[in-house]
C-alpha cells in the first residue's frame, strides 16, 4: 500500500509498504482522510522531534525512522482482530493516536495517561499512520462515530480534541464568560470553536487579517482584533466593562501574546498555555500575584474524544469551514506541506487521501 514515510529532516517519501495485518485486539482501519498537522511540518523542517531517529527505536513502539506519518485521521473499519466484539466491519471511526506503555492506566477515569513516560503518537513514532491506505490500531484508541458525520470533517476531531482539553483545563466555562484567544491558527480556531459551543464570548487577537476573517466567518469568534492596528487591551476593557476576560488561551508562542493575556485577565482569571514554546518566555510574576491568576499548561488530550465527538455530532461545532484543501497523497509535499509552510494565512486544514474516489 501507499504511505508517506518520514526518513529525516526534509526527507519524506511516498512509498509502497506492506499492508498491515490486523493483530488480536486491533482494528484495521481503511483511512478516509488524514489532516496535515503543524507537528508534521515541524518534523519536516526541524525534525526529528517526535519521530525516532534512524537507529534509535522508540522505547514503546520499538520502531525507528522511517516511520509512516499522519495522526489526524478518520476511516472505516475493514477488519477486526481476535477478541473484538463491540465494533463491526463498516463502522466509521476516528483514532486517538496514542502510543502509551502497557503498564499505564488508560481507563475512562484516567486524567494523566497523556503525561506518562515516553508517550508518543501513532503517525509520528511508529505503529503506522493516517498518511497511508490502512492502519491497524489497538481497540482502546479507536472511537466509533456516527455515519451521519462526514468523514472529512471527522478527520478534524483529533485537533479539536486538543482544543477541547485546553478548554477543560480552564475549568468551568459559564454562559457569557469572556474568553481571549491569542492566535487564530488551526488550534486557536478549534479552541475558539469549543469555547463558543460552551457559551463563551470569544475575543481573538491575531495579526493576520485573513485569519481574523476566517475566525469571524466561521462563527467561532465574536470579536477579532489586530494587535498591530488597535489597542487590544483597551478593546477588551470596553467589551467587559473594565472587568477583564474570565479565561485566556495562548495559541501563538510569542511573548507579546503572553503579556497581553496577563493584562487582559480579570482578577482570579485563568490562562491556559496551549502553544508549544521552543524557548523560555518571560512572565511578569507580579501580575500573577496581584491578580491571583492561574497559569496552566495543556498538552494533547486525555479521555477527551467521546465528549469532543458529541459536540460535533450534535451540530454544536461545524468543522467544515476549517477544511481548506483536499489532496491526493502523491501531492503531500508539493501541494500540502508547501501550502502550509508558504501560504499559511489562507490554509487551515489540508486533508489527504489515498482514495481517488473521495477527491472532487
Ligand atoms: Zn497534530
**Measured distance CA(190)–CA(150) in Å, rounded:** 18
Q: DSSP character for 194?
A: H
* pLDDT higher than threshold 90 for residue 248: yes
Cα atoms in the 13 Å half-sphere on the side-chain side of 126: 18
Between the CA of 256 and the centroid of ligand 1 the distance, in Å, is 24
pLDDT digits (tens, 9 = 90+) for 340-352: 999 888 889 999 9
| Å from CA of 129 to ligand 1 middle | 12
Q: Is residue 150 included in any domain, yes or no? A: no
Distance 37 CA to ligand 1 centre (A): 5
In a domain? residue 330: yes
Q: What is the pTM of this model?
A: 0.97
In a domain, 148, yes or no: no
List the beta strands (DSSP E) in 63-146.
Answer: 67-68, 72-80, 92-95, 98-99, 120-121, 134-138, 142-145
Percent of the chain whose pLDDT exceeds 90: 98
pLDDT value of residue 344: 81
| Residue 281 domain boundaries | 161-295
Q: What pLDDT sits at residue 345? A: 85
Mean pLDDT of 155-164: 98
Kindly give the distance from the C-alpha atom of residue 89 to the centroid of ligand 1, in angstroms, as a whole number.
Answer: 27
Q: 74-131 pLDDT, tens per residue?
A: 999 999 999 999 999 999 999 999 999 999 999 999 999 999 999 999 999 999 999 9
Residue 311 falls within a domain, yes or no? no
The owner of cell 489497538 is 138
44 with 100, same domain: the answer is yes
pLDDT digits (tens, 9 = 90+) for 176-205: 999 999 999 999 999 999 999 999 999 999
- The CATH number given to whatever domain includes residue 236 is 3.40.50.720
CATH code (residue 29): 3.90.180.10
From the CA of 33, how far away is ligand 1's center (Å)? 14
Å from CA of 350 to ligand 1 middle = 12
Distance from residue 38's CA to the centre of ligand 1 (Å): 6
Is residue 149 a part of any domain in this protein? no
Shared domain check, 128 and 17: yes
Dihedrals φ, ψ of 152, to 5°? -70, -45
- For residue 286, report the distance from its CA to the centre of ligand 1, in Å: 34
Q: Which tens digits make up the pLDDT trace of 34-80?
A: 999 999 999 999 999 999 999 999 999 999 999 999 999 999 999 99
Our CA dihedral for 312, 100, 115, 91, rounded to 10 degrees, sits at 10
If asked whether residues 184 and 59 sit together in one domain, one would say no
Q: 285 C-alpha vs ligand 1 centroid, how far in Å? A: 31
Contact between 29 and 142 under an 8 Å Cβ cutoff? The reply is yes
**For residue 307, is it within any domain?**
no
Residue 131 and residue 223 in one domain: no
Amino acid at each position: 500500500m501507499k504511505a508517506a514515510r518520514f526518513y529525516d529532516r526534509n526527507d519524506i517519501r511516498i512509498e509502497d509498504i506492506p499492508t498491515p495485518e490486523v493483530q488480536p485486539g486491533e482494528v484495521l482501519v481503511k483511512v478516509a482522510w488524514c489532516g496535515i498537522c503543524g507537528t508534521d511540518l515541524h518534523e519536516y523542517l526541524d525534525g526529528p522531534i517526535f519521530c525516532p531517529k534512524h537507529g534509535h527505536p522508540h522505547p514503546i513502539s520499538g520502531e525507528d525512522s522511517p516511520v509512516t506519518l499522519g495522526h489526524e485521521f478518520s476511516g472505516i473499519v475493514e477488519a477486526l482482530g481476535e477478541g473484538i466484539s463491540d465494533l463491526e466491519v463498516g463502522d466509521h471511526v476516528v483514532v486517538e493516536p496514542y502510543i502509551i506503555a502497557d503498564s499505564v492506566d488508560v481507563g475512562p477515569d484516567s486524567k494523566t495517561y497523556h503525561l506518562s513516560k515516553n508517550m508518543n503518537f501513532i503517525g509520528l513514532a511508529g505503529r503506522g499512520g493516517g498518511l497511508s491506505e490502512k492502519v491497524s490500531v489497538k481497540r482502546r484508541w479507536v472511537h466509533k462515530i456516527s455515519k451521519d458525520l462526514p468523514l472529512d470533517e471527522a478527520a478534524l476531531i483529533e485537533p479539536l480534541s486538543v482544543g477541547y482539553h485546553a478548554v477543560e483545563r480552564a475549568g468551568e466555562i459559564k454562559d457569557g464568560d469572556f474568553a481571549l484567544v491569542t492566535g487564530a491558527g488551526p488550534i486557536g480556531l478549534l479552541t475558539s470553536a469549543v469555547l463558543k459551543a460552551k457559551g463563551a464570548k470569544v475575543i481573538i487577537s491575531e495579526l493576520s487579517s485573513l485569519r481574523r476573517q476566517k475566525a469571524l466567518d466561521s462563527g467561532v469568534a465574536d470579536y477579532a482584533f489586530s494587535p498591530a492596528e488597535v489597542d487590544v487591551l483597551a478593546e477588551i476593557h470596553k467589551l467587559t466593562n473594565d472587568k477583564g476576560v474570565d479565561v485566556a488561551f495562548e495559541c501563538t508562542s510569542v511573548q507579546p501574546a503572553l503579556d497581553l493575556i496577563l493584562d487582559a485577565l480579570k482578577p482570579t482569571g485563568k490562562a491556559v498555555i496551549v502553544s508549544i514554546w521552543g524557548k523560555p518566555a518571560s512572565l511578569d510574576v507580579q501580575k500573577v500575584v496581584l491578580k491571583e491568576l492561574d497559569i496552566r499548561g495543556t498538552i494533547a488530550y486525555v479521555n477527551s474524544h467521546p465528549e469532543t465527538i458529541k459536540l460535533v455530532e450534535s451540530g454544536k461545532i461545524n468543522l467544515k469551514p476549517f477544511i481548506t484543501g483536499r489532496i491526493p497523497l502523491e501531492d503531500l509535499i508539493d501541494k500540502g506541506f508547501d501550502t502550509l509552510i508558504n501560504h499559511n494565512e489562507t490554509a487551515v486544514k489540508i486533508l489527504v487521501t489515498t482514495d481517488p474516489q473521495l477527491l472532487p
